[in-house]
Amino acid sequence: MSETTNTESTNPGSTSTVPESSSDFEQYQLSEKWLKRFKLLKKLGADSQSMFSIMKTPEFKGLSNSDRISVSLNFFVLFFGPLYYLFKKMWMKAGFMFASIWVFNGLLSIVEGLMGFTFPSVIFWVVPNVICAQIACYDYYRHVTAEEKIWPQLPEFFKKPVGIISYLVASFVFLMVAVSLTTL
């Protein structure tokens, strides 16, 4: 997967532009906390690279611990996962995350069944929620400033609502089949 992201909006027909100066973020009516995060993300290059790329840069590593945590870890998402994305109206990303979590949990269930042991139940939600928590601030920044609906690196199929809905249905069926096969 590419380390950089496409700066174009994934919303067809969108004509929004990314503000040039950090004071332009005030047009989005953000809280002071989110305004600070947006300014930091803009400074770190969130308009042209992924969050995981940003986390590798010297600029990110040079931030204070509190600034690094504020842009790279959202504690609400750590506990609520994709539900937080729904709350922030990023439903396509939330749907993709739910489906991916179901695939992950289905695979873990299959491994449990094949290997004959049981993972601690916390594994089924902590790993996906940590990943969600690491990218949530970046995703909200891209959602607000670039009207990004889904990550540009995904195949075209997932950039349409029917693709996300199909993935949700297929992953749920996979999870149910995996669980039922491993509990026999």
pLDDT of 182:
83
Report the residue count for the chain. 184
pLDDT of 28:
80
Q: Identify the domain containing residue 164 by its residue range.
A: 72-182
Number of domains in the chain: 1
Domain assignment present for residue 53? The answer is no
* Whole-number average pLDDT of the chain: 86
Please name which of 3, 8, 38 lies closest in space to residue 159, comparing C-alpha atoms: 8
Domain assignment present for residue 42? The answer is no
Residues whose CB is less than 8 angstroms from the CB of residue 93 and which lie 6 or more positions away in sequence, other chains included:
82, 85, 139, 143, 149, 150, 151
Please name which of 52, 26, 56, 41 lies closest in space to residue 142, comparing C-alpha atoms: 41
Domain assignment present for residue 110? The answer is yes
Domain assignment present for residue 82? The answer is yes
The whole model's pTM is what?
0.82
For residue 4, the cross-strand partners are 49
pLDDT of 31:
87
> 65 falls in which pLDDT band (50, 70, 90)?
very high
